[in-house]
């Protein structure tokens, strides 16, 4: 009897929950962006939210909540009700941060529901023109002849750029030390000034300077050439087996979201990202649209990506601090 009394409020609420799912959405949806306004995540979220508002028939607002290596905004969503009205535009880094930090206030996998991927951002390894190398093979040869003289700049410890450099050094058999910065702006500034000989950053950050001759693009760190820059080889073409998963932005919600709500959001995001106007806007900014996936396919892809990064971090002897 005592057990039944505890269940009674939930049993009473079930019809209301079912009705809410059927009418979803019937009020404003908050899309949390755990990065500062004006950044890459914000550049994806705002046009996406505008189109989702039109598709779903309810306002989708963008709420920037930067801080704590993107964990502040994600934590707000992890703790929200799983009703689909609080979602987060996360990056793949969401699953890397816990490998470096003990202070993440949630479980990156168990406390979230994958909804849909949105875009991927190719990343490029580039060198300053003063470095006498023109391709990945020459970079490897230079590093072997000059041990201890190469280091590479990135947006920070635990970034995909950081892990890409670790994996490249390991698989190429070279020493290339990491120089972490606090964001892309100071990194590219020092790269252009020649203070750092090698840099790994997003394609939209590198390409304008590479095309102007201020940097030399050596290769993309993902498994294949980027669609927008087919002339730049993948590093794996020189180092067989090298390549990181795509660096993506995607939408997550709190754990235990109803399947009907997840499917509704997934369908809306897939519709939005398939439309020529939004695609053109994001591709012009240097992004590539993600392959269309169901929520289950996205969840499976996330588990695979997280395992790849876990292996890289483990092989480098890195432990969370």
Question: What pLDDT is recorded for position 204?
Answer: 83
Question: What pLDDT is recorded for position 284?
Answer: 82
Are residues 92 and 39 part of one domain? yes
Are residues 175 and 133 part of one domain? yes
Question: What pLDDT is recorded for position 2?
Answer: 44
Residue 195 belongs to what domain range?
Answer: 123-237
End-of-domain residue from the set 237, 263, 287: 237
Residues 6 or more apart whose CB falls under 8 angstroms from that of 93 comprise 69, 70, 158, 159, 160
Q: Is residue 38 part of a domain?
A: yes
Q: Is residue 22 part of a domain?
A: no
Question: What pLDDT is recorded for position 59?
Answer: 98
Question: What pLDDT is recorded for position 40?
Answer: 80
User: CB-hemisphere CA count at 13 Å for 208?
Assistant: 7
End-of-domain residue from the set 216, 237, 258: 237
Q: Which residues of the chain have pLDDT under 70?
A: 1-22
Q: What's the predicted TM-score (pTM) here? A: 0.82
Are residues 202 and 135 part of one domain? yes
Are residues 88 and 34 part of one domain? yes
Each residue's pLDDT tens digit, 159-198: 899 999 999 999 999 999 999 987 788 899 999 999 999 9
Q: Is residue 287 part of a domain?
A: yes
Are residues 104 and 40 part of one domain? yes
Are residues 111 and 252 part of one domain? yes
Are residues 211 and 182 part of one domain? yes
What is the CATH number for 199? 3.40.190.10
Are residues 184 and 136 part of one domain? yes
- H-helix segments, the chain: 2-23, 40-56, 71-78, 97-100, 136-145, 160-172, 184-193, 203-211, 259-274, 276-284, 295-315
Are residues 139 and 59 part of one domain? no
C-alpha dihedral, 297 to 301 to 303 to 304, nearest 10°: 140
Q: What is the DSSP letter of 82?
A: S
Give me 32's structure tokens: 């949390």
Q: Report the C-alpha gap between 194 and 215 in whole angstroms.
A: 9
Q: Report the C-alpha gap between 25 and 60 in whole angstroms.
A: 10
Give me 287's structure tokens: 């992004």
* Cis amide leading into 313 (omega within 30): no
Are residues 136 and 225 part of one domain? yes
DSSP string, 100-152: H-S--SS-TTTTEEEEEEEEE--EEEEE-TTS---SHHHHHHHHHHSTT--EE
User: Structurally, how many domains does the chain consist of?
Assistant: 2
Give me 69's structure tokens: 């290596």
What is the CATH number for 255? 3.40.190.150
Question: What pLDDT is recorded for position 13?
Answer: 47
Question: What pLDDT is recorded for position 18?
Answer: 52
Angle at which helices 259-274 and 40-56 cross, to 10° = 110
Are residues 127 and 86 part of one domain? no
Q: Report the C-alpha gap between 60 and 115 in whole angstroms.
A: 16
β-bridge mates for residue 179, sequence order: 153
């Amino acid at each position: 009897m005592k057990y039944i009394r505890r269940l009674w409020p939930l049993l009473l609420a079930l019809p209301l929950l079912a009705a809410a799912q059927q009418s979803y959405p019937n009020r404003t949806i908050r899309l949390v962006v755990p990065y500062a306004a004006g950044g890459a995540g914000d550049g994806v979220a705002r046009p996406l939210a505008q189109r989702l508002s039109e598709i779903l028939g309810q306002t989708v607002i963008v709420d920037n909540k930067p801080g704590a290596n993107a964990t502040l905004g994600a934590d707000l969503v992890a703790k929200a009700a799983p009703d689909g009205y609080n979602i987060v535009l996360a990056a793949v880094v969401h699953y890397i941060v816990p490998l470096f930090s003990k202070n993440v206030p949630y479980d990156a996998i168990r406390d979230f529901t994958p909804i849909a991927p949105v875009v991927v951002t190719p990343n490029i390894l580039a060198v300053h023109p003063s470095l006498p190398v023109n391709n990945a093979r020459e970079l490897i040869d230079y590093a072997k002849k000059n041990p201890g003289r190469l280091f590479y700049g990135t947006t920070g410890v635990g970034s995909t750029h950081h892990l890409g450099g670790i994996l490249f050094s390991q698989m190429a058999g070279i020493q290339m030390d990491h120089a972490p910065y606090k964001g892309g702006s100071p990194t590219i500034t020092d790269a252009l000034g020649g203070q750092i000989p090698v840099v790994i950053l997003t394609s939209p950050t590198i390409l304008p300077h590479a095309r102007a001759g201020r940097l030399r693009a050596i290769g993309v760190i993902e498994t294949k050439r980027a669609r927008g820059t087919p002339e730049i080889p993948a590093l794996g073409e020189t180092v067989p087996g090298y390549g990181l998963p795509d660096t993506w932005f995607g939408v997550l919600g709190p754990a235990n979201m109803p399947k009907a709500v997840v499917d509704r959001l997934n369908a809306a995001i897939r519709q939005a990202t398939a439309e020529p106007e939004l695609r053109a806007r994001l591709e012009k900014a240097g992004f590539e649209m993600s392959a269309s996936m169901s929520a289950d396919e996205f969840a499976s892809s996330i588990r695979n990506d997280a395992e790849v990064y876990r292996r890289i971090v483990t092989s480098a002897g890195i432990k969370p601090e």
